[in-house]
Amino acid sequence: MIEITCNDRLGKKVRIKCNADDTIGDLKKLIAAQTGTKWDRIVLKKWYTIYKDHVTLQDYEIHDGMNLELYYQ
């Protein structure tokens, strides 16, 4: 289990526990369950990299304690 922090820079900071072999789409669904937004409206970024839904966290080298930027479409 790894823990990822997502910050939307509007005051909402969410800490999510998930597995390293989960996809970005799975992570978005966990974030949506905590924030109350639809999972398909969530965009996850790190700097200028937009993460795709079908790729796993391991493939993007997302590790325990990492921060991601949370945006809404």
Note the pTM of the prediction, 2 decimals: 0.85
Residue 51 · residue 36 · CB < 8 Å: no
Whole-number average pLDDT of the chain: 89
Per residue in 39-64, pLDDT (tens digit) is 889 999 988 889 988 999 888 888 88
Which pLDDT belongs to residue 20?
86
2-72 maps to CATH 3.60.40.10: no
Domain ranges of the chain: 2-72
Phi then psi for 53, rounded to 5 degrees?
-70, -30
* Centroid of chain to Cα 60: 12
